[in-house]
Chain A
Amino acid sequence: MALLPARRTRTGLGIVGKIALYILLAIGTVSMLLPFVWMVSTSLKEPGNIFLLPPQWVPIPPRWQNYPDLLKVIPFHLLFLNSLKIALLSVTGALFANSMGAFAFARVRFPGRDPLFMVLLATMMIPGTVTLIPVFIIMKTLGWLDTHYPLIVPAYFGGAFGTFFLRQFFLGLPQDFVDSARMDGCRFFGVYWRIFLPLAKPALATLAIFGFMGSWNDLIGPLIYLNTLEKLTLPLGLAILKGGLRAPGHYTLVMAGATISITPMLILFFSAQKYFVQAIVRSGLRA
């Protein structure tokens, strides 16, 4: 599972250089993994044992009971389902709106198309903090506070990055596909739906993963819109858990919550690594 296809460049290092590099990389690897190991390890300890010296790295026996205990403090299973529902629904909406808009911007001619696209691109420069308050007021006016709508519905109106990303992809497909389908009497929507969309699967997967990750990990949205405990998302629930359980002994529960909240993303990452890398590299190299 390569993060990026290995393309070795430089000529070989000397043996001393290699050893030095290995030592540095070993230190780096330990530093990267230590917080994760500590998170999982703490989540499986007896609450009384987390302050033991020297620290207990592998708790024996592991205390799985911390996970059911967590659910007694905060309904984490509901939060998990909320996060999943919000992420799936908003990704679906974003993919639909972005791909349809992207197709029109790439392949359909209509007056004002290019200026409109430039304006859309320009909005990528606007930081989210500027629109936060007015959008909050819109949601409040609609009576959507303390519901999941504010976290889902905006996705159905697309976004600048996704539209831009898919437009680039569609521009790379041959114009002949459009022309011959049009010749056969196919509408533009048909060309988009039956020809371009199926061909865009890799690009859609990349975008879906990033959208899912953004929604799954978001804090500020749920923070300003949600109040009821049963409606929270995982990150917000975790933040509240950490703030609420001030006694250090409760870190077993907080770490159990953290472990639960990162596991789905890790699974997604390991099963779709190449899409993650593609998304980052594409967003990086367009500069």
Chain B
Amino acid sequence: MALSAPAFLRGRRPRLDMAKEEAAEGYLMVLPVGLGLLIFSFGPIFASLYLSFTSWDLFGPPEWIGLLNYTGMFRDQLFLKSMSNTLYYTLLAVPFGTALALAVAIALNQKLRGTNILRTVFFLPSVCSDVAIAVTWVWLYMPDMGLFDIILKSVGLPSPHWLSSTEWAMPSVVIMAIWGGLGYNMVIFLAGLQSIAQEYYEAAMIDGANRWQSFWRVTMPLLSPITFFVVIMYVIGSLQVFASVYVMTGGGPYNATLTIAYYLFRNGFEWFKMGYASSLAYVLFFVILAVTLVQFVLQRRWVYYES
């Protein structure tokens, strides 16, 4: 690089101009992100709010119908069904999925041979697409000929008919989702476990605590911010579940696995009811927001922050 003259020899411009130039450069550099914010976030957020008060089939102008989309929802059996299905999915997936991920993380945080390989094994599904996982599990769940039924039959148990039973279809989707998300949450829990200072355990041991006590009195409280984060993200993801049910069941049987995100997709992109689909999107948004806010209020009772 060529030597450059010291700044004072080059005749520095006044400070004000420098600041203006700096600002201009700053605006140019955030321009792509700023435009993206406008075009792909802000614009759409308001556009879809507007559309949610209209009836629109993509052809011709949207027709303003006021609150009709929202008031009509409560008489729409499919909406009510999809909402309760989504909550059912979330209530099954989040507690079991979180507890299992924590258990695996604790097991793989022990002084054992091969834990590194096992961590990799548990993480594998997290890099695979929902679709690839879903088609594989459809094959595993296949009545009579699927691997699960073969295994059940060989030990003399009856098949619950998995995806073709209205009662078992949703739990079957949840089992797959827990399997698929286990490794991701395990990695977050492992990082949390490893950030707990060893001294706490030593102090607990000196005070005569056994493993069980030090788990509940040391590990759980110190891990609670991580647990909180995992639960929040898991809930937000579960309330929007789409790909797995789209591939596995198409919402069936008898709408037993129709989730709110899937119902929204059908309204918008199969029936071209863009107005109604937009109102569903807003309802989903507010449900997510409300559930998240409630969790933030409740966290005071169980999440422990150091300092």
Contacts and interface: CB of A to CB of B under 8 A. Distances in A.
Interface of A: 1-4, 6-13, 18, 21-22, 24-25, 28-29, 31-36, 38-39, 42, 50-51, 53-55, 96-98, 100-101, 103-105, 108-111, 113, 116, 119-120, 123, 125-138, 140, 154, 156-159, 163, 183-185, 187-189, 192, 213, 216-220, 223-224, 234-236, 238-239, 241-242, 248, 251, 254-255, 257-258, 261-262, 265-266, 268-269, 273, 276-277, 280-281, 284-285, 287
Contact of B187 (A13, A192, A280, A287): A280
Interface of B: 4, 7, 10, 19, 22-30, 32-37, 39-45, 47-48, 51, 58, 104, 107-112, 115-116, 118-125, 127-133, 135-140, 142, 145, 147, 150, 154, 179, 182-184, 187-188, 190-196, 198, 201, 205, 211, 225-226, 228-230, 232, 236, 240, 242-243, 246-247, 261, 264-265, 268-269, 274, 277-278, 281-282, 284-285, 288-289
B235 to A, nearest CB: 12
A129 B132 CA distance: 22
A255 B139 contact: yes
B32 A101 contact: yes
A238 B131 contact: yes
A59 to B, nearest CB: 14
Contact of A284 (B42, B140, B193, B226): B226
A4 B190 contact: yes
Given A127-B285, A158-B32, A287 B228 contact: yes
B61 to A, nearest CB: 13
Closest 9 CB pairs of A and B: A157-B36, A110-B26, A101-B33, A134-B44, A217-B129, A108-B26, A104-B29, A110-B23, A131-B44
B36 A129 contact: no
A218 B131 CA distance: 9
12 contacts: A1-B116, A8-B109, A28-B122, A29-B118, A32-B182, A97-B36, A104-B26, A108-B22, A129-B261, A134-B48, A254-B139, A258-B132
A118 B138 CA distance: 43
A258 B136 contact: yes
Nearest to A216: B129
B147 A34 contact: yes
Given A109-B19, A183-B7, A131 B243 contact: no
Given A9-B194, A110-B27, A280-B187, A157 B284 contact: no
Given A10-B111, A36-B124, A255 B136 contact: yes
Contact of B236 (A1, A127, A213): A127
Contacts of A54: 150, 154
Nearest to A55: B150
A26 B90 CA distance: 28
A100 to B, nearest CB: 5
Nearest to A235: B131
Contacts of A13: 110-111
A213 B184 CA distance: 14
Nearest to B214: A10
